[in-house]
Amino acid sequence: MKNNKIKSIIQAFFTDLLFWIYLWGCFLYLINSWFEINLKTSFVIIAGLIFTIFFLTAGISLGRKIFVPTKFTNIRWNKTFWGWSIIVVLAVTFIVGWKLVEVNPYKFFTQFKNAGGIMSGIFNPNLDILIMSLTALAETIYLALLATLFAIPIAFVLSFFAARNLMPKTILGNAVYVIIRSIATLFRSIEAIVWAIIFSVWVGIGPFAGMLALMVHSIASLTKLYSEQIENIDTGPVEAIKATGATTLQVWIFAVIPQIISPYLAFTIYRWDINVRMATIVGFVGGGGIGLMLLQQQQLLRWHNVGLIIWLIAAVVWIMDMTSAKVREKLVEM
């Protein structure tokens, strides 16, 4: 009981501290950029601490409201101190955001003619480079396809070891599960574009680097999707097949795989769909294909070429989207 009270006061203290430091930090940023006065950062921390201690002991702060329950709860929120603190912090956040993002409606409405080149390019694509662009596009589609194909068997095998319900509840089983899951999560959180930068240095700029980037990202995310699918299977058949005297591998083949095969296919096709989209982006940073070509034409300001490339990319994404949705629909019915 007493421990709980101390715990909630500590939680309230840190919430308030975070709140006041953030608020003073925002003020400091605004004052520095508007009045060109240089206030010290240490000011933020000291002011934050003082305000935290004052309002926490006064018993009206936000942290207190969240973590320390009080009896007087039917005061309307706009008559309370914590209610106003939320409003102030939202307002200040909006102003700081506007400033940081350099929002400028004036530019938006008056400088449309700057985009004239690319607009006219889109409506008058240069068909002379069609063959060349199609070649680059094929590169992109095939690199996405290969990245998916290479990822499937690797993710397939890994997913069995990343499924909690299949791994034995021993220290080794647990370790394997935790290691594979964490690596997959880590690799997935690194965007494909970052992998492309790494691989374009490693194996040189070109589609191979793009394929490796997408492959690593696909393995990580398919492993996660696949293994979650395994964790959701009906355990009844697993138990029944075990009871016949089947070996572990036989249990996997007869009780697990038949249950996961159609969701696996659906995920994989979805992944290929994503990979085709990402393949263009990855091309921008050295992954080859149509993305690289788009970057080069844009830097040369050849807007009519850029226009054609944009149309081709849109067409491919549209077709992929349609077919993958159709195929997945069929798989769900299976």
Partner 1 sequence: MKNIIEIKNLHKVYARGTHALKGINLNVKEGEFCILLGLSGSGKSTLLRCMNKLIDSTSGEIRICDEDVVSALGNNLRRIRRQIGMIFQQFNLIKNLSALTNVLTGKLGYVSLGHSIMFTQHKDDVNIARDNLKRVGLLDFANKKVKNLSGGQQQRVAIARALMQNPKLILADEPVASLDPATADSVMKYLGELNKKDNMTVICSLHFLSLARKYGTRVVALKDGEIVFEGSPKEIDEKKFQEIYGEDAEEVEIK
Question: Residue 249 interacts with partner 1 (CB under 8 A)?
Answer: yes
Question: Residue 247 interacts with partner 1 (CB under 8 A)?
Answer: yes
Question: Residue 242 interacts with partner 1 (CB under 8 A)?
Answer: yes
Residues in contact with partner 1, total (CB under 8 A)? Answer: 21
Using alpha carbons only, give the angle 119, 313, 214 rounded to the nearest 5 degrees. 135
As measured in angstroms, the least distance from the Cβ of 3 to partner 1 is 24
Question: Residue 244 interacts with partner 1 (CB under 8 A)?
Answer: yes
Q: 224: burial class by Cβ within 10 Å (0-12, 13-18, 19+)?
A: buried
Considering only residues 178 through 237, tell me which ones interact with partner 1, judged by CB under 8 A: 234, 236-237
Among 186, 194, 240, 300, binds partner 1 (CB under 8 A): 240
As measured in angstroms, the least distance from the Cβ of 242 to partner 1 is 6
As measured in angstroms, the least distance from the Cβ of 234 to partner 1 is 8
Collapse the DSSP code of 98 into the 3-class scheme (helix H, G, I; strand E, B; otherwise coil) and give the result: helix
Considering only residues 253 through 312, tell me which ones interact with partner 1, judged by CB under 8 A: 253-255, 258-259, 262
C-alpha 178/C-alpha 183 separation (Å) is 9
C-alpha 208/C-alpha 164 separation (Å) is 34
C-alpha 309/C-alpha 312 separation (Å) is 5
Question: Residue 243 interacts with partner 1 (CB under 8 A)?
Answer: yes
CB 229 within 8 A of CB 260: yes
> In Å, what is the CA distance from 66 to each residue of 23, 32, 83, 268, 330?
18, 32, 12, 44, 49
The gap from C-alpha 167 to its chain's centroid, in whole angstroms, comes to 28
As measured in angstroms, the least distance from the Cβ of 170 to partner 1 is 12
Q: How does DSSP classify residue 77?
A: G
Pick the stretch among 41-49, 69-77, 245-253, 311-319 that binds partner 1 (CB under 8 A).
245-253
Residue ranges binding partner 1 (CB under 8 A): 234, 236-237, 239-247, 249-250, 253-255, 258-259, 262, 334
